[in-house]
Amino acid sequence: MAVPPIVELREVTKRFGDGPLVLDRLSLAAQPGEFISLIGPSGCGKSTLLRLIAGLSPVTAGTLRVDGVTPDAAAAELAFVFQEPTLLPWLTVGRNIELAPRLRGISAMDRAATRQRVLDLVRLGNRADAYPRQLSGGQKMRVSLARALALEPKILLLDEPFGALDEMTREHLNEELLAIHAEAKWTGFFVTHSVAEAVFLSTRIVVMAANPGRIHSVIAVDLPRERTNATRASRAYLDLVADVSQLLRSVESTAA
């Protein structure tokens, strides 16, 4: 392994205060450019794991390295897309995207260029002056994604970003996300409840088990990286979805 991992977990353990064990000795290494989905029954700690990588919450034991340093030290390389669009309602789409760069002291000219580039990426190039409430749910999520991309992160953390959207919108956004990933080459961590979504997007899928949260298995997705709507009809894709679903069911039944 010539390239050092961009995110590395060694025996990472998490508990909140005196509470029960939330994550139990997780080990995982992600190579730059990978797209890793985290899937598992609710309560398996997949969102907690994302928050640990984000540095929003400290690990209890073990080591977690992001870009070779602690998550806190790597904060500038991380961006987070939350379950909700979490847009500031009093700012226009454009100003929402520019806010974090502005707070980091990026010049107005650079900000405007970045804003336009990321809005074009999510196909909302003409909505910079709209207020969030004028957008649909899918559009808001696109803006949220664009805002994260504007930070030009090395690692993008996505916590079930499309969970609240309808099936069609979700599939569209998945395809867009893949295209953006192919172009920008960040490393993605993606929490989801949808096996189909995980298989479609990922290079690897981490299946987690609950009580305490732990990694059950890691599945490599051996599909060509170029994925289109046709991929969803392919034999290999459907087999993999069936396999992962089967695996997930067995994980959930042993947990119960």
Partner 1 sequence: MSTRLLRLLAPALLGTLMVTAWYGVHLWLDTEMRFLLPTPVQILGAFRDNGESLGRAALNTAEGALLGFGGAALVGFLFAVVLSLSSLVRASLYPYLMILQMTPIIIIAPILVLWVGAGLKSVAIITFLICFFPLVVNTTQGLISTDRNLVELFAMWRTGRWQQLVHLRIPSALPYFFTGLRIAATLAPIGALVGDYTAGNSDGNGGGLGFQAIIYSSQAKYPALFATAAVTCALGFIFTGAVVALSWLALHRWHDSYERADR
Report the interface residues with partner 1, using CB under 8 A: 54, 56, 75, 78-80, 82, 84, 86, 88-91, 99-100, 103-104, 131-133
d(CA 164, CA 174) in angstroms, rounded, equals 14
Least separation in angstroms between residue 80's CB and partner 1 is: 5
What is the crossing angle of helices 167-184 and 137-149, to 10°? Answer: 10
**Of 41 and 71, CB closest to partner 1:** 71
Query: Is residue 90 packed enough to be buried (19+ CB in 10 Å), middle (13-18) or exposed (0-12)?
Result: exposed
SS3 category, 23: strand
**Of 147 and 227, CB closest to partner 1:** 147
Least separation in angstroms between residue 90's CB and partner 1 is: 5
Q: What angle do CA 160, 163, 168 make, to 5 degrees?
A: 130
Least separation in angstroms between residue 243's CB and partner 1 is: 34
What is the crossing angle of helices 108-121 and 137-149, to 10°? Answer: 130
**Of 4 and 58, CB closest to partner 1:** 58
CB-CB contact of 130 with 80 (8 Å): no
Least separation in angstroms between residue 116's CB and partner 1 is: 21
Least separation in angstroms between residue 99's CB and partner 1 is: 7
**Of 17 and 90, CB closest to partner 1:** 90
d(CA 189, CA 38) in angstroms, rounded, equals 7
**Of 79 and 199, CB closest to partner 1:** 79
